[in-house]
Chain A
Amino acid sequence: MSVSWTPVALTPDLPPGGAVPVRAPWGELVVWRSATGRLSCFPERCPHRGMRLSHGFVRGEMISCIYHGWRYDTAGQCRKIPAHPDLEPPAAIRVHSYPVAEAGGLIWIAKTLPESAPPETGAEPLRSLVIASPASAVTEAAGVVPGVPGPVSLPDLAAPLILALQDMGEETAVHALITPADSAARIAASRALEAFRRAVEAEEIAA
């Protein structure tokens, strides 16, 4: 089975004007959302001095590096170098732009554009959390594989949650979604997820 899209965040966790760091299998990345809602995904390092772009700030339709204010548009082209306000940045100063998509309450990235769109989940975003165990251990406990959201029944919950796993090497991000539920049910689900995380991590230590 080939996994093409990687889920990296829940939709509400990256509002317009936000930027988040992402650990992809092929490197460190930043995913950001412009003021009008456009998503972009670049390598994490600013090509000028290597600063993490996820520490930068989004201004309108551009992301600005926090170190020297170099501004990149949604396609990755550098549009502004504040130290030289009259200079049109050369076309060569640009960052690579990776495919990024939004579907099923999740934000997805890929190294190259996959043939099909990322899957729908039919559920609402609940929360993301990081488990300090490799994806194989989470898969063994949950029965879902990275990149393919699937239902997982947790103890004490009436309905299964939809979990999307993101393989981050030593750690695994779990993006959880829930079928429409009231706030008490969401809180219960969140606690059940915490218990799941502790159980997986404890299993890892025991093994």
Chain B
Amino acid sequence: MTRDKRDEWYPVAIAAMLPPARGRDTLLLGEPIRVRAGDSGPQVETAEGRALPVTIAYGHVWTCLGTPGDLFPIPEAAQPGRRLVDVGMVRVKCSPLRAVENFLDIAHFPFVHTDILGSEPHTEVYRYDVRIRDEVDEVWATKVRFYQPQAAKSAEGGIETEYMYRVPHPTCSVLYKTSPPMPGEWDVIALFVQPLTEELCDVWPWMALYDDASSMAEMIQFQQMIFLQDRSILENQIPRRLPLDPGMESPTRADLTSIAYRRWLKRRGYTYGAQLVAA
């Protein structure tokens, strides 16, 4: 199913922290837009003053330059007992697609998030399942397992964490991982990426966690630390855009999720932030 990139919803602000009346100037798919608090909620408009559609979901304000459909569901957002965490925005000089792909990757944990999300010698990525669920048009990776020294702020020691990854939107991903205090439940961590240009993005992580012990500030700090470690990678990949053509990079079995993500992007015709011809 192909869909125009302008018809997707994109995150542009935290709903609980709207810019003042004057607004905040930002970009969406290279177009200048302004986000501000209006009398009856958030307003987003183009440079010419055209009002854009707005919706609020998962703690964020979303907008669309074209004709929006439904935003993807995250049913866990409504489950009682979860703490919903607006982590804040991190600007990254990389393709929005590179930011999502890195989020889907576990093999980097021991090297980039050393002694937190991974540690040597526990580097092996076991077999997991990946498929494109045609009925919902989403990429899903399941039965992903990884040994983690400190899986979350709430973790007290090393555990083997199980993950599920989901890509319901070209620039958004949702992961489900074993909740350290409630091993039978999944913590939910999402990455909502606002494409400013093809090589620059604002990343808005959001979480729905089972954690009654940590303060909001501690949970935010933990996730920001993780994401800033990722940023040091994302800003140093060559090329800046995500290569969709096979041959430019050498994936292995551990990269099945990213292979499926790239294939899914191609199939949808979503190439904003992609490099199509090997340079």
Nearest chain-B residue to A94 (Cβ)?
Answer: B250
Q: A33-57 interface mask toward B, CB cutoff 8 Å, 1 = contact, 0 = none?
A: 0000000000011011111100100
Known A68-B111, A83-B125, A85-B123: A49·B254 in contact at CB below 8 Å: no
For residue A20, give the distance in angstroms from its CB to the closest CB of chain B: 14
Q: Is the CB of B181 closer than 8 A to any CB of chain A?
A: no
Q: Is the CB of B124 closer than 8 A to any CB of chain A?
A: yes
**How distant is the Cα of A159 from the Cα of B120 in the complex, in angstroms?**
53
In contact, A69 and B124 (Cβ under 8 angstroms): no
- The B contact surface, by secondary structure, is loop
Q: B247-265 interface mask toward A, CB cutoff 8 Å, 1 = contact, 0 = none?
A: 0111111100000000000
Q: B74-114 interface mask toward A, CB cutoff 8 Å, 1 = contact, 0 = none?
A: 00000000000000000000000000000001011011100
Q: B212-233 interface mask toward A, CB cutoff 8 Å, 1 = contact, 0 = none?
A: 0000000000000000000011
For residue A82, give the distance in angstroms from its CB to the closest CB of chain B: 4
Q: Is the CB of B11 closer than 8 A to any CB of chain A?
A: no
In contact, A68 and B108 (Cβ under 8 angstroms): yes
Query: Hey, which chain A residues are within 8 Å of B111, CB to CB?
Result: 65-69, 82
Query: Hey, which chain B residues are within 8 Å of A50, CB to CB?
Result: 237-239, 243, 248-249
**How distant is the Cα of A87 from the Cα of B252 in the complex, in angstroms?**
11
**How distant is the Cα of A188 from the Cα of B243 in the complex, in angstroms?**
49
Query: Hey, which chain A residues are within 8 Å of B125, CB to CB?
Result: 83-84
In contact, A69 and B110 (Cβ under 8 angstroms): yes
Q: Is the CB of A93 closer than 8 A to any CB of chain B?
A: yes
Q: Is the CB of A204 closer than 8 A to any CB of chain B?
A: no
**How distant is the Cα of A92 from the Cα of B123 in the complex, in angstroms?**
22
Q: Is the CB of A168 closer than 8 A to any CB of chain B?
A: no
**How distant is the Cα of A45 from the Cα of B236 in the complex, in angstroms?**
9
Nearest chain-A residue to B253 (Cβ)?
Answer: A84
Known A66-B111, A82-B107, A82-B120: A55·B236 in contact at CB below 8 Å: yes
Within 8 A of B (CB), among A63-113: 65-69, 81-85, 87, 92-93
**How distant is the Cα of A51 from the Cα of B120 in the complex, in angstroms?**
20
Query: Hey, which chain A residues are within 8 Å of B105, CB to CB?
Result: 68
In contact, A85 and B124 (Cβ under 8 angstroms): yes
For residue A130, give the distance in angstroms from its CB to the closest CB of chain B: 19
Known A66-B111, A82-B110, A84-B125: A52·B238 in contact at CB below 8 Å: yes
For residue A80, give the distance in angstroms from its CB to the closest CB of chain B: 10
Known A67-B233, A83-B123: A47·B249 in contact at CB below 8 Å: yes
**How distant is the Cα of A55 from the Cα of B112 in the complex, in angstroms?**
11
Nearest chain-A residue to B121 (Cβ)?
Answer: A85
Known A84-B124, A93-B250: A68·B238 in contact at CB below 8 Å: no
Query: Hey, which chain B residues are within 8 Å of A28, CB to CB?
Result: 238
Nearest chain-A residue to B107 (Cβ)?
Answer: A83
In contact, B123 and A69 (Cβ under 8 angstroms): yes
Knowing that A50-B243, A93-B250 are A-B contacts, what are 12 other residue pairs whose CB atoms are under 8 Å apart, sorted by A's residue number? A48-B251, A50-B248, A51-B233, A51-B237, A52-B236, A52-B238, A67-B112, A82-B124, A84-B124, A84-B125, A84-B253, A92-B250
Q: 9 interchain pairs (CB within 8 A)?
A: A28-B238, A50-B237, A52-B238, A68-B108, A69-B111, A82-B107, A83-B123, A83-B125, A92-B250
Q: Which residues of B contact A (CB under 8 A)?
A: 105, 107-108, 110-112, 120-121, 123-125, 232-233, 236-239, 243, 248-254
Q: Which residues of A contact B (CB under 8 A)?
A: 28, 44-45, 47-52, 55, 65-69, 81-85, 87, 92-93
Q: Which 4 A-B pairs have the closest CB atoms?
A: A82-B123, A83-B254, A83-B107, A83-B125
